[in-house]
Amino acid sequence: MDRDFTLIPFRKIDESINVNEVCLANKINLPILYRTFLETFVLGETSINRRMFYSKEFDDYFDFEAYIYKRKKEIGFMYFLDFLDAINLFKTGEFGEAFFPIASSEGNGLTVCIKGENADKIYFEDTDGEEKKLVAENIFEFLRGIEIVKLDEKFLAGQVKYSDLYRKYGNKHWEVIKNLSV
C-alpha cells in the first residue's frame, strides 16, 4: 500500500496562484491550512497520479487502484477539485455557506468548513442527505489518511489479471501483455 505525496504533484514556482486574491474577488474566506494546500499542490481531475493500464481491446485507460480514506473505508476518493471549479460549485449554494467543496468522492461530497470554530475541518456528506460527518481535523490530516489499494482482479476491465500487465521504462501507464504484437 502506498501512502504519500506521490498522489498529487507540487506546484512549480511558475504555476503559483494567488489564493487570497481569488478569495477576495469571489467573497470567500477560506481557512489558512486549506489556503496553504491550494497554493502548494496542483489540483483537478487530471492532476492525480493515477496508476492505470491501457487496453487495446477497449481503446481506453482503466484504473487498477482505488483511493480510500483509511479511517472511513466507505469514502472512496477520486480527486481534489480544481480551485476555480470548486468556487463555481460553492456558488451554487448546494453545500451551504459554511462548507466549501474540495474533492470528488464517488457520489459523495468532501468539504472543508470555512466558518466558526470548525473552520479547516474536513467533512463527508453521503448523497442520501445524511448529516455531514467529521473525517479529519484539516486537509493535511485527510491527506495522511488516503491509501492507495489495488483493486481485486475481478474488478479489472476486460478480465485482465495483474500478471498480464507490464510497463515499459519511462511510460506513465501500464499495458496489457496480450496486446503486444509479435
Q: Name the CATH code of domain 5-43+71-151 (choices 3.80.10.10, 3.40.50.2000, 3.40.1580.10, 3.30.930.10).
A: 3.40.1580.10
pLDDT at 182 over 60: no
Q: Are 140 and 156 in contact (CB under 8 A)?
A: no
- Average pLDDT value over all residues in the chain: 84
Map out the domains of the chain as residue ranges: 5-43+71-151
Q: Which of 25-34, 76-85, 151-160 has the highest mean pLDDT?
A: 25-34
Cell, residue 78: 477520486
Grid cell 481535523 is found at 137
Task: Out of 26-35, 152-161, 166-175, pick the least confident.
Answer: 152-161
42-51, 91-100, 142-151 — which is least confidently predicted?
42-51
Position of cell 489499494? 149
For residue 155, give the 3-state DSSP assignment.
helix
